[in-house]
Each structure stands twice: as C-alpha cells, then as structure tokens.
Structure 1
C-alpha cells in the first residue's frame, strides 16, 4: 500500500485519512480484529461488496447537493479507483464500486479536495441528512430547508454522541406539505411551517418522530405541529443521547430508534429526552439561513435550438420540468435509469449543460438528478444533450419511473436482480401502459431483499426479493406489496404484503393491477382510494393465479438478466447490520405469518388465521432444520423431522408431541377460542426458536 501526502485545508480530515491508512495497515498485519475494523471502515463510508476483495464507497452528499466540479471529481475518482460508474442512491448519496481497500485513503483525500466526505456515510451513525431535491426552488415551500439540512449534517458529523450508536439514525427535511422527503418514515422528519407571532413571521417545523423503513417499517408519529427553528437541533441532540443510552445493541434486528419508541412508549421517550436536554451542548441553536445560498443563474442563452424529437420533447416538458418559484426559471429532472451513469457520460452531461443551468444539482430520492435555474430558451438544448446521452426519458416520478436498489449486482444482501427487473418493468409500462407516464400518484419501487433500500414499503406497487421452492428446486421470487405511499404533511402509508410470485411474473402483476385500476377506479379516484375500496383481500384474489407454481416454466427458475442457476447465497449485510440467509428469511416470514394471523383474527376470519398460524409452525421448524442441513421436501416431513431432531433430542419440549401440537389444525372447527390458543402456542414457539437461532449464530 502506497503512502501519500495531501494538502487538505481541514486538518481534522487530513488526520482522519492518515489514521484510516494506519488502521488498514494494522488490520492487514493482523493487529486489529475483523469486527473492530469493520466498524471503523463502515463509519468511513467503506462497505464490503458481494464480490470478495473489493469495496463499495459511499460519498456523503448532504441533502443531495453536488456541483459540476464535484461530479467531475467523482468521475475521475471512479475511473482511477473504481468501475467508471456513478450510482445515485435513494438517500441522495453517490456510490462507486469495486474499490481496493488499500486505496481508500488516497481516494478519500482526492474527494476531500472538493469538499466531499466519506465520514459516517455507513455504520451506526447519523446517516446522510436528506431533503426534498427541489428545496430552494419549490413553488410550494414556505422557506428553503437546505440551510437547515446542512446545519444538521455539520452539527452531528463527528459528534461523539452519535459516533458508536447501536444502529444508524436517519433525518430528512421536506420542502413542503407534499412531503417529498418522506418525513413519515424517518427517525426524525421535518416539514417547514411559518406562523405569525405578534405580527412577525416565525419559522418552524412539524416534527415526525420514530419512523423507519427496513424489513419491518414503522410510521413516524407527530410530536410537534410547530417547533420553532432554534429548537430542532437541541431536540435531535437530546433524542440521539437517549437513543445511544437505551437503544438495543445485541439484537440488531431490533436496534433502530423506532424500536426504542415501541418498547418504552412515546410518552416515556419524550420524558427521557426532556430530561436529557440539560446535558446538550446548547438549549437553543440559532440557524444561519445563509449557509446554503442560492446559486448564480446561467447567462441568457441567445441561440435557437429545435428539439431532436418534437413529440417526445413535449411529453418531457410536461413530466420532467417545472416552473421554479424564481420567476423565469425552470427545474429540470434528469431521469437516470437505475441511478447509474457511466463516468464518460457524466463528463459529457456537465459539458453540455453547464452554461445552461446553475452550478447546484441535486440527487433525488428516486435516484435521478435535478438541474436548477434553466431558462426557457435553454430547455430544447438541455433536452438534446440528454437525448444524445440516453437520458431524455420522460415520466419523472411517474409509474414509468421505477426506483430500485443495486440488488445482486453488488450488494451482500441481494436476493434478486432488482436492477434488471426495474429496466424490464419500465420498458413494459412504456410499451403497454403509456398513459401512466403522466400518473405521479402511482409509484413502483423494488428492493433486492426485504430491507428497504429501494423503498418498496412506501410504494403504491412494491416488490422485494425472495425465493420460492417448487419441483425440488429454488426459484427467484418477488414479494408483492400494494397500497403504500405519501399522503402528505407527515401522513404516509406502508404497503400491504399481498402474495409472493416468481420473479419473472412481475410484469403480469403490474399488467393486472394497472388494467384493473384503469377499468374499475371511480371518477377522480386516486390509487389509494381505489385500493382501500377494493380491500387487500381483493388484490390477493386478483393475483392468486399468478402465484400458482403448478405452471412454472424452466425460464422462471432463472433470475432477470441471469443465465446461471439461481441460488440464495447471501453474505453479511453491513449497512443493514444483519446476516441474511435462508434460515433468517424463513424466520422473518414466520413473523409475517403471525402478524397476518392476528389481522385475520381481528376480522373474524378464523379459518384464515388458523392456517397462517399453522404455516408459522412449519416455517419455524423448517428454518431450524436447515441449520442442521436438513431440507425436508414436504410440510409433514418438516414436522416429523423436527420432532426427531429437536424434540426427542431434548432441545425443545412441549406438553404433548410437537406433531400433535402442530396438527391440531385438523382436529378442531375454526373458532375464535382455538385460533387464539393456537396463536399463543405458535408465538411462543417462534420466540423460543429465534432465541435458539441467535445463540447458535453467536456460538
């Protein structure tokens, strides 16, 4: 590993980079244990990839702001150290892939020359502070939240109260009540408000608290209708202190702040936060509203340019541009498929647009790019530049604009190839459902696994990767989720799990749902209203034929874009902080089934509830059998093998035989009494099995 010298202006950053180089050397020499080094590198934005021996580097861009010079610097760095590609993330970061660990210090030094950092981009830290990409130019905003997001980033980066938390912490600022930064699914979500006090305008925020995505999404709760602007930093600080003290650190599945709120109760958490505020660095924090100034507009464009495709250009104008609150200027959304732009195209993009837009671009939460301060006369030129690069795709933020995580391309946790699935769906919708190019209240989002990096939980139609078994083989599958999304002003919805289908059938799912929506929706009815009227059960029945595994073709045993045999080999997920394998997946699905049973019980659907409970017994037993290398082919074999290998060996005990306990399903008529008793037994078995599994993993 080569040493290097850097002339960085910030001595703290310089020291951090030098220290990283030392730690890497210490790790290579065997002087630092794996877990300790992993924690250190994650806190510096260095994340292990699915491919051995290389790293993903996450560049932390507060509220997604990136300048021309910074993007060009990232392109240079990606060419020298990575794969000549730039990836935009759903938290407004930029990632590059296939980087050698030993070269990360010098890579960081180059990025730091243009005021970019890797610090706390991953790990158990305050992650990138996000904001609505249109902040500063949004016609609906009460004020620009960019300075507040920037201040939050600066206040908590390298802050000791959040250097080694039990889990990550996420903060987002929406620019208006449209809530495009998803305040309802953040640990802290802020929506700007203005009120008049004694004749003077006062700025503040509606505050959403304790939300989160992940494998088990939880909606945030509103704790303030209006919090004055000088109080939001102290509130975050006190909360993080409480989280650091009371947050789970052993079972990382339950380590997010949302579980602290769930466990202690909102009232008790807020009491602890109030009690903690005395220890804050400050009781009131005055915000410098000029921290993020508006950029200089481009010079007047005097030429005349005709768009290369007049018809497509007109659609693009309607879907990808909007009039800013600054009169005479337009925001332009660049739709970047799967969030990936090769470095060569990035350079050509900057070269083509830099005299036509302001030097203040924003990465969006749906992996696109927002250009600001375009003059109307420049729009045809900008369109032509994008067209020449393949980025003049219309339909920004529409059904046609599918969000996805990297999936099995690079991620350790990926179960399915979500990027190719997204490309297939976009092509399919454009060809067969072109009218949805204007529909911005029906979004499709995909994650490669149950963790929600692709935001599938807040999609109107969402998919996450999974697997199914048929004909003695495993095939890639997609969990279908419907009914999520943003309502507005802190209100959001988490999508319902409907059914699981072979991955190759997702186009059928989308086709069926979109057609049904077009045919059966009432006049002016939104997708949410239509979904609520039809009910979850309607969609289960609608999609049930697609989930039928008796008609599988050989192609359906292959994932999208793959020709090799599908397998569920999963590595260690460092961002999510858990080990995801088939055993863990089955146990998670057990929890889902128990939750479905509770919901069915509440509705009086006792037979449905009882079958969900029975399935949870089988899934739990199957998971533990896999730990012993036993992959029973039928449910009855699972039940019997568990009896033999776990009950008769004394690992688990029951008042009666395990087989008798599970097979009560066919000994009683469906009733509330039996369903409740059966659910109690299954829940107890699940928790005992989960504890046993955790002990095995730790051993």
Structure 2
C-alpha cells in the first residue's frame, strides 16, 4: 500500500489517512475483527456495499457547497477509483461506488489536495452539516447561514467527545422561516433569526425519520449565534452520556428525549454548560470566504431552437436572488445521478460564467448561484447540451429516491426503478402538474427513510412480507 507521509501538507489529515491504511492492513491480516474495523472505516466515509468486495465512499460536502476546483477533483477521483459516476444524496454529500477497500487511503489523499474530506461522513459521529441550498442568495433570509454552518462543521470535525457516540447525529441550518433546511426532521436544526439587531437562531431538537419519525421540538425560540457551538457541545455530551448504546434501533436523540422529557433534557444541557471550556464562541462571518461572481464583458449571443421548452424551463428552474442583476438556476438531476464528464463541463461553465460554485440540494439536485440575468438563454443552451435542462426543479415531477437495492445493503425494494417510472408517467400523462410544487413524492428502499418518504405528501417505503 502506498505511503502518504510526504503527500499531505496537513499533519492531522496525514495522520488520519495513515491510520486508515494501517487499519486496513491489520484487517486484511486478521489482526482486528470486522466489528472494530467497521466502526473506524465508517467514520472515514467508507461504507459497505450490497455487492461483495467493493465499498461505497461518501464524500462530505458541508452545506452542499462545492467549488469548480473541488468538483473537478471529485470527478478525477471517481474516474480513477470508481466508475466515473457521481450520486448526490439527500444530505448534500456525493457518493461513489465500487471502490476497492485497499485504495481508499489513496483516494482520500487525492481529495484532500483540494480540501475535500471523507472524515465523519458515516458512523456514529456528527454527520454532514446541511443547509438551505439558497443560503446567501435567499430573498427572505435575515442573513447568510453559510459561515455559521461552516463554523459548526469545522469545530466538531475530529472533536474527541463525539467520535464514538451511541448513534449518528444530524444538524441543519435553514436560511429563513420557510425552513428549506428541514430543521424539523434533524437532531438539531437552526433557523436564522435576528432579535434586537443580534444574529441568532431558532433551535429545533430531536427530529428524525426512520421507522418511527418524530417532528422536532423547539429548544429555544432564539439563541444568539455565539452560543450555538457551546449549546451543541452540551447537547452532544448529554446524548453521548445518556443515550442508548445496547439497542441500535433506540439509539437516536429522539428516543432519549421521549424517555426523559424535553424539560429534563434542557436542564441537563444547561447544567452541562458549567463543564464546557468555551462559554461563547464568536463566529467571524465577515471573514468567511463568500463566492464572488465573475465579470462578464460580452454576453454570448445564442439562438433558442425551442421557445416553448425554454419558456417552461424558465418558469420552473429560475430562482430569484437577493443580489441585484443575478438569479440562481435550479438543475434537475434524475435520482441525483450524473457522470464525471458532465461534472467537469459544469465546473468550467460556472467558473467562466457564474461564481465558481455549485450547491447540491437536499432533493438531490444542483443549484447554480450568481448567474447574470442576461445569461439565462446561454445557460439554458449549455445545460441543454449536457442533458441538464429538464423543467420541473423542486416540483412534483422532481422525485427523491435513495439508491435502494441498486447498491445498498439494507435495500428491500428498487426505489430508483419506481422513481423513474413515476416521473415518466407524470411528465407524459399529467403535464399540467409540471409547475406544481405543492405535492412532494419521495421513495425509500427500506424503513430507514434515506429517501425521506415519511416527510412527503406521497411516500413509498420498500417492504417485504412473509408468504406461505
């Protein structure tokens, strides 16, 4: 196995990758058992796959933001170590499949060259911190939640006290009261608020899906932004200390709060603040690396060959943006799947004509912010060339589905198969619903609800029944 000692500049990351390589060698030599190795590899984004002898790799992209440079790096890694295909998850990650376990340290080292990590993408850790894909451009937001989501991600990454909890922990940030970050279904959800000129958040706690879904409770109506990290640390410590560890099915935060009650839980969290080193943590939003649109000196002249299709696409896929003169473009990605050649062309497109940034959405789509309004016809033609100009972004025809039995060990039913059929039926037989966003369809291949079926208006869950 290759040495990574001279390839990674960050010594902490280097140590992580070397440790994974060493543990893989020990596992192959039968020096550590499957269960112990499983815990370590999951916390490094290496997940078992339905097909034997290969792994699914989950690439962690905080709040779904990826630069052109990072997307090219991910594409190169997929070509070299996987199948040249990318999958957007419902938690704004990217997954690649059919990876040789022995090559995962090398793969990780390649990603880190552009500050992309696998660390804690899986396992009993703080998972990817998600956020509204419109954060920073939302016309209704009181402020951009991106710096706060980024600060939370960085503070808890590799933090010793939340590496081996009883179960995973999911966090989200919503740009406004519309709650497009889905705080109500997360262990901890933050909704942007301003009170008396102070930035802060409404805090939701103990939401979740799975076989026993639970709507989150309100923990605080308003929490100043400098208290979100200490508060989250207290919550994680209480969860780690009192949460279930014997029964995996009862180990999420929602079950702990159901058992002891919200009031008692709040008392424990408040008392825990006495043991936390940092009582406040200021988040420097001013120095956050905000995306900046490129200056377009000449607007390319284009010819639209199908005006009707273009008009329909504009009515469903153009999102107003609070920055004057710009819009965001929603790109509908069927089942979240696209190829590396398309990824590279997208990276070039947004680098040359937008802000070198793409957002992955909670509905497995793409959002391109900072598009000059005069460039809308140009972007339509370019996206159409890539097969990415389908109308219906975030509308009823935009169905969410997990991979199901395609690759998942837990899958019972083919969620991707039924999603493809349903989208085809809606487009061809019920075109009047193309602009409808009041109906949401989601599909999960099993009860674990990775496709978020139990938060949809119409949800499908893969099941099996006993037969004589």
TM-score by length of 1: 0.66
Candidates 336, 341, 364, aligned match of 1:339: 336
Q: Which residue of 2 aligns with 1:441?
A: 438
Candidates 358, 361, 376, aligned match of 2:358: 361
Residue 206 of structure 1 aligns to a residue whose secondary structure is: strand
Tell me which protein shows more helix as a share of its residues.
1
Q: Which residue of 2 aligns with 1:248?
A: 244
Contact 2:350–2:368, Cα closer than 8 Å, also in 1? no
2-structure distance, mates of 1:73, 1:57: 15
Candidates 368, 372, 379, aligned match of 2:369: 372
Q: Which residue of 1 aligns with 2:122?
A: 122
2-structure distance, mates of 1:260, 1:308: 58
Give, in angstroms, the shift of residue 6 of structure 1.
4.2
Aligned residue pairs total: 467
Q: Which residue of 1 aligns with 2:38?
A: 38
Contact 2:68–2:348, Cα closer than 8 Å, also in 1? no
- Are residue 236 (structure 1) and residue 232 (structure 2) matched? yes
Contact 1:229–1:287, Cα closer than 8 Å, also in 2? yes
Contact 1:58–1:118, Cα closer than 8 Å, also in 2? yes
TM-score by length of 2: 0.98
Q: Deviations over 1:363-416 (max 9, x none)?
A: 000000110100112111111111112111111111000001011110001111
Aligned pairs (5 A) from 1:210-359: 210-300=206-296, 301-359=298-356
Q: Deviations over 1:480-537 (max 9, x none)?
A: xxxxxxxxxxxxxxxxxxxxxxxxxxxxxxxxxxxxxxxxxxxxxxxxxxxxxxxxxx
2-structure distance, mates of 1:302, 1:459: 41
Q: Which residue of 1 aligns with 2:453?
A: 456
2-structure distance, mates of 1:292, 1:310: 41
Q: Deviations over 1:411-435 (max 9, x none)?
A: 0011111112111111110111111
- Are residue 76 (structure 1) and residue 72 (structure 2) matched? no
1-structure distance, mates of 2:401, 2:241: 34
Cα 1:453/1:364, change in 2 over 3 Å: same
Residue 467 of structure 1 aligns to a residue whose secondary structure is: coil
1-structure distance, mates of 2:84, 2:194: 45
Residue 383 of structure 1 aligns to a residue whose secondary structure is: helix
Q: Which has the higher contact order (CA 8 A, sep 6+)?
A: 2
Moved more, 374-383 or 325-334: 374-383
Give the gaps of 5 or more residues in structure 1. Answer: 473-632, 634-699
Q: Which residue of 2 aligns with 1:150?
A: 150
Q: Deviations over 1:594-626 (max 9, x none)?
A: xxxxxxxxxxxxxxxxxxxxxxxxxxxxxxxxx
- Are residue 185 (structure 1) and residue 191 (structure 2) matched? no
Aligned pairs (5 A) from 1:418-429: 418-429=415-426
Give, in angstroms, the shift of residue 159 of structure 1.
0.6
Contact 1:124–1:164, Cα closer than 8 Å, also in 2? yes
Contact 1:231–1:283, Cα closer than 8 Å, also in 2? yes
Residue 289 of structure 2 aligns to a residue whose secondary structure is: coil
1-structure distance, mates of 2:46, 2:19: 14
Q: Which residue of 2 aligns with 1:657?
A: none
Residue 180 of structure 2 aligns to a residue whose secondary structure is: coil
Cα 1:319/1:6, change in 2 over 3 Å: farther
Give, in angstroms, the shift of residue 302 of structure 1.
2.2
2-structure distance, mates of 1:430, 1:148: 39
Contact 2:350–2:356, Cα closer than 8 Å, also in 1? no
1-structure distance, mates of 2:176, 2:230: 22
Q: Which residue of 2 aligns with 1:138?
A: 138
Q: Deviations over 1:518-564 (max 9, x none)?
A: xxxxxxxxxxxxxxxxxxxxxxxxxxxxxxxxxxxxxxxxxxxxxxx
Cα 1:291/1:263, change in 2 over 3 Å: farther
Residue 451 of structure 2 aligns to a residue whose secondary structure is: coil
2-structure distance, mates of 1:53, 1:264: 43
Cα 1:382/1:6, change in 2 over 3 Å: farther
